[in-house]
């Protein structure tokens, strides 16, 4: 059960990266040097993005992560503080650089991303255990796959032990995941390519997506939310399958759209919004994000979304 609160509490356990974004006329071929049209540096990492999205919607957010003792790490901490995110469990290490993500974005808004996780890999199970009080007080805990698998499992275990809603975003996707991970996930939120990798099934049509989602449900997940880009999202649970439509827009940059969806979904569900309505609102926010350049900079605030 989610905890109803006018100011929902979210805990995100995951990675922080600095996005190094190059805007290119097309994706380069192997061995090719290509002139880009523009470059920018932004804050990223799926965990950090989802935390910032929730904070921009007014949630009380705690972040559990590890940064390098470098300029990128210092700037990431400042960024969290600027959004009022609780950084009590943001750790630092001198043994690795902060994570980075070089990103190429083409004129259609499609992206190609390389992630070098760095300090994110050095977060420990003991540090996650130390965050148990924060996790226990949350309305939802959000995890991904940008940190080592054992750490994601640890965070989900602590949340389940404390009776907190668990939301698992299996990204970047891996072909094989332990059964326990599915069983610890109240909600799993993969996109199309992640679903195909996890299940080995195509998701090009609604019928195919539904078949793949049911396979994930059979692995022990309580609810599957398969995000389908401009086609919206598909919800599959014990009550059946239903698709949530979203508005068709001209996307300029899809980077971070999935994180906008997950961060906003966690916020709405922790606030006590009805499930399907929360998914619909999260779809709308993700759609808003692809109409602006950048990652966290493209996420709308509570004031910008109005009443949706």
Closest CA to 287 of 231, 252, 247, 240: 247
The phi, psi pair for 178, rounded to 5°, reads -65, 145
Query: Side-chain half-sphere of 242: how many Cα atoms within 13 Å?
Result: 10
Choice among 186, 206, 259, 276 that is catalytic: 259
d(CA 38, CA 222): 43
Determine whether 19 is an active site residue: no
d(CA 9, CA 18): 25
CB atoms within 10 A of CB 36: 13
Residue 160, helix vs strand vs coil: helix
CB atoms within 10 A of CB 95: 11
* Burial environment of residue 189 by CB neighbours within 10 A (0 to 12, 13 to 18, 19 or more): buried
Catalytic (active-site) positions? 259
């Amino acid at each position: 059960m989610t905890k109803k609160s006018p100011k929902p509490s979210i805990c995100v356990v995951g990675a922080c990266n600095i996005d190094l974004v190059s805007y290119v006329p097309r994706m380069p071929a192997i061995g090719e040097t290509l002139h880009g049209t523009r470059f920018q540096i932004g804050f990223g990492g799926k965990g950090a993005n989802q935390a910032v999205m929730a904070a921009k919607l007014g949630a009380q957010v705690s972040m559990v992560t590890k940064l390098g003792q470098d300029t990128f790490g210092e700037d990431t901490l400042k960024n969290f503080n600027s959004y009022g995110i609780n950084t009590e469990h943001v750790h630092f290490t001198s043994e690795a650089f902060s994570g980075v993500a070089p990103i190429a974005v083409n004129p259609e808004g499609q992206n190609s991303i390389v992630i070098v996780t760095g300090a994110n890999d050095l977060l420990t199970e003991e540090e996650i255990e130390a965050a148990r009080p924060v996790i226990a007080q949350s309305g939802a805990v959000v995890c991904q796959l940008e940190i080592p698998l054992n750490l994601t499992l640890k965070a989900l275990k602590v949340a389940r032990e404390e009776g907190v809603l668990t939301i698992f975003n299996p990204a970047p996707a891996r072909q094989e995941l332990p059964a326990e991970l599915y069983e610890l996930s109240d909600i799993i939120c993969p996109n199309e390519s992640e679903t195909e990798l996890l299940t080995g099934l195509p998701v090009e049509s609604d019928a195919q997506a539904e078949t793949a989602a049911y396979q994930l449900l059979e692995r022990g997940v309580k609810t599957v939310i398969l995000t389908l880009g401009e086609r919206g999202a598909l919800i599959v649970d014990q009550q059946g399958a239903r698709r949530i439509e979203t508005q068709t827009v001209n996307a300029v940059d899809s980077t971070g759209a999935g994180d906008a969806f997950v961060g906003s979904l966690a916020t709405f569900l922790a606030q006590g919004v009805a499930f399907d309505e929360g998914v619909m609102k999260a779809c709308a926010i993700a759609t808003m994000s692809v109409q602006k350049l950048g990652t966290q900079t493209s996420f709308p605030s509570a004031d910008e979304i109005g009443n949706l």
